[in-house]
Amino acid sequence: MADTMQDAGLCVRLVAGSLACASRWPLLTLAAALLSAPALAAPGPAPPGHKVATARPTRSSPDPGVDASAVEAKAAAPAASAASFEDLRARAVPATDLATLIEPLYGRCDEPEDLPRRQCEGIRSFLLQRLRNELFVAHADVAPDISPYDAGAKEIDIEVSGCLACTAPPVVAGEPRLLATRLPQRMVGSRPVGVPLATYQLPMETRVQADRFLERVGPRLQVEHVFRIAQPFPEAQGTSMRGVQIVPVAHRVYDRCTGKVVASSLPSQAVPVQPDQRCPARGVDELSRAELALQAERAALPERLSPSQVEAALQPVQAKIHECYVEYQELSGTVRVQLVLSGEGKLTHIGLSPPFDKAAIGVCIRSQIKTATFPRFRGEPMRIEYAFQVH
C-alpha cells in the first residue's frame, strides 16, 4: 500500500483502511473528493506490487448515464416542493468544475488485472450514482436573448437558453462536451441556436425605459440554473457536437451588478453580488445613449436668451400685427405684451395691455405672437415684456 500511495497523485478514502489512488488520471478521483460523498464498500488493500486504477476518460463508449425521463421525474419533485429559488438552491451542489462533474460518464475501467479493475468500477459506480441523485447549481455561459422593444405591447421579451455550457464547454476525454437540455441546431458565432428553455415578457411603459434596459442592463444579465445530470447525447451523423443532457429544475436571470432578479421560474429575491469595475456606481442613473446625447445637447445651450435673440424672434411678428389692424380697424396705438417662455422655446403665457386684452383684435394679436420661433435654453422660464405698434 505504501508503494501505491507513493505512485498516486491524488487519493480518496472510500472506506476505513482502503484508498483509491490515481496517478495517470487524477481528475476522476478528484470528482469523488469534490462531491464529499459517504463511504462506499470497496475491496480491501491491494497486494504489494499492484497498482490501484481509476476510470480513464476515453473518446468513445460514453456511459449511458440514466434515463432522461427518470431524471425529469426526479427533477420535478424538488421544484414542486420548493417555495423559492433560494430554497431549491440551498439543496444543490455548486458545480464549479463541469469537466470534473461529467468525467465519470466518459470513464472506462479496462485494467487487465482484476483488483484494480474492480476498484476502478467501484469509484466509477459511486460517482455515477452521485450524478443521478444530486441537484447541481451553476451559471450558464450563454446570456439570455433579448428582443427589441415592442412599442405596441409595451414589453421586451427575454428568452432563456437551455444551454449551460455551450460557448466554452468543458473538455473531457480530449473533446469539448456541451451541457444543455438538447444539442443546438447550430452555433452562430458563440451563440447556440435552437435550445429554448423559457420566455419572459418584461413590461416597459416607455421607450426611454426600454432603451435604458436594453443598453445598460441587458449586457449584464446572467442566468443561474439548478439542474440534474441526465446522460450523454447520442452521437449523430452530420454534427461534431458532443455533450451531456441536463434536466432543468429551476433558473433565474439577474443583473450581475445590482443583483436585481428580472426573471425567475420560482420566486426569487435579489442576489448578493460583488460589483466589479465595469459596473456603474451605486445610485447613479443609467441613461440610454439617446438620453446622454440629449443631456450633452442641453448642456451646450445658453442659460438664458439674450435681448438680441428675443428681438430676432419677435420682430417678424410686427408685420403680422399690422394685418390684424387692417382686418379689424378697431383699435390702434401701442400694445404691450407680457410673455412667459419655457426652456424648450415655447410660449406658455401671452398677456396684452388694456384695452387690447378684451377687444376682438386682441385675439388676432395673440394668434400672431404664437407664431414666433424662439431658440431653446437650459435655464428657468423667462418673463419677457415687449411692445408692438398697432396701426
Cα–Cα distance, 182 to 32 (Å, whole number): 27
Q: Band the pLDDT of 297: cuts 50, 70, 90.
A: confident
Q: How far is CA 372 from CA 284, 333, 365, 389, in A?
A: 39, 21, 12, 16
Going by C-beta distance under 8 Å and a sequence separation of 6 or more, which residues neighbour residue 183?
195, 233, 236, 239, 241, 243
List the grid coordinates of 142.
Answer: 450563454
Q: What is the mean pLDDT of residues 158-176?
A: 94
pLDDT, averaged across the chain: 81
Residue 321: CB atoms within 10 Å: 19
Q: How far is CA 178 from CA 194, 226, 232, 235, 385, in A?
A: 14, 16, 9, 12, 74
The proportion of the chain whose per-residue pLDDT surpasses 70, expressed as a percent, equals 78
pLDDT at 330: 86
pLDDT at 111: 83
As a dihedral over the C-alpha atoms of residue 201, residue 205, residue 206, residue 209, rounded to 10 degrees, the angle is -70
Are 253 and 160 contacting, i.e. CB atoms less than 8 angstroms apart? yes
15 conformational bin, left if phi > 0, alpha if psi -120 to 50, beta if neither: beta
pLDDT at 53: 32
Cα–Cα distance, 355 to 370 (Å, whole number): 20
pLDDT tens digits, residue range 48-101?
Answer: 333 333 333 334 345 554 555 665 655 566 666 788 999 999 999 999 999 999
Are 227 and 191 contacting, i.e. CB atoms less than 8 angstroms apart? no
pLDDT at 337: 97
pLDDT tens digits, residue range 260-274?
Answer: 999 999 999 999 999
Give the pTM.
Answer: 0.66
Are 33 and 10 contacting, i.e. CB atoms less than 8 angstroms apart? yes
Q: Where are the domains of the chain?
A: 2-64+95-133, 136-277+285-296, 307-390
Q: How far is CA 292 from CA 27, 190, 257, 357, in A?
A: 51, 31, 21, 43
How many Cα atoms occupy the beta-carbon half-sphere of 297 within 13 Å? 9
Q: Which CATH architecture group holds 307-390?
A: 2-Layer Sandwich (3.30)
pLDDT at 237: 62
